């Protein structure tokens, strides 16, 4: 997360010629969502508490499910400028044009969703097709980073839970490492990239794991591990 905050976020802001206002993670209670980084990270909480129910811009962000969103393209600018949120917040901070980039979670309300907010002031033109395309080009890398973060957070619990099963079924250390990552829903190629192995080596380990677990597929392996009492969450994250 630190690398995204310190490198990817400000780099994308420079490419967009925009202010990096916030990089945030959505909380269970949306109003208490936390800004991890950004030049105006400290004002996000107060903004959500004060204007969540009435700002037409946040309404767009909550209802238009695009990962790269030029907010003003989905609302009449006259409506925005007539709002209290514009006069008491956006205009005060020079937030005239808004872009939102969500790279983890199905929408920004989803707990754990990761999003970046960028703005431009009145002296600059609004965000357009060029800026949207830049963000779309960067999006896969951000999504990949988010998946790696999510996987690394799940892995320790998986490792602890499979210890007994590994001993009972006689898995080698190499097979155990592959099993831990396989249970997170990764493909053979993704396992190879994560563990620094060749794809053929991963396929060999997977075949041996299946044989020792007496299964013939990933789905059956998942059932076998769950039946052994291991809590598994390999649900792929939507972005």
pLDDT digits (tens, 9 = 90+) for 204-221: 999 999 999 999 999 999
Query: What are the boundaries of each domain within the chain?
Result: 2-147, 162-227
Flag whether the pTM goes above 0.95: no
Nearest to 190 by CA among 143, 148, 239, 127: 148
What fold does the segment set 2-147 form as a domain?
Answer: Beta-Lactamase (3.30.450)
CATH number corresponding to 162-227:
1.10.10.10
State the average pLDDT for the chain: 89
What the block records as the tokens of 95 is 């937030």
User: Region 217-226: what's the mean pLDDT?
Assistant: 89
Detail the DSSP E strand segments found in 38-123: 68-70, 97-104, 114-120
């Amino acid at each position: 997360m630190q690398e995204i905050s310190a490198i990817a976020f400000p780099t994308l802001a420079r490419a967009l010629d925009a202010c990096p206002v916030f990089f945030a993670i959505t909380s269970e209670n949306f109003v208490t969502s936390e800004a991890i980084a950004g030049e105006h990270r400290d004002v996000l909480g107060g903004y959500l508490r004060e204007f969540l129910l009435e700002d037409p811009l946040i309404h767009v962000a909550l209802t238009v499910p695009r990962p790269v969103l030029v907010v003003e393209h989905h609302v009449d600018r006259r409506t925005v400028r007539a709002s209290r949120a514009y006069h008491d917040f956006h205009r005060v901070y020079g937030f005239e044009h808004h872009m939102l980039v969500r790279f983890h979670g199905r929408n920004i309300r989803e707990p754990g969703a990761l999003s970046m907010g960028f703005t431009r002031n009145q002296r600059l033109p609004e965000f357009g097709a060029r800026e949207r395309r830049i963000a779309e080009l960067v999006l896969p890398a951000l999504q990949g980073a988010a998946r790696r973060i999510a996987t690394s957070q799940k892995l320790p619990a998986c490792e602890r839970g499979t210890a007994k099963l590994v001993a009972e079924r006689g898995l080698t250390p190499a097979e155990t490492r592959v099993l831990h990552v396989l249970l997170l829903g990764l493909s053979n190629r993704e396992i190879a990239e994560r563990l620094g192995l060749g794809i053929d080596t991963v396929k060999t380990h997977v075949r041996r794991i299946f044989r020792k677990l007496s299964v013939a597929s990933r789905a059956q392996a998942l059932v076998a591990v769950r039946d052994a009492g291991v809590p598994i969450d390999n649900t792929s994250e939507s972005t």
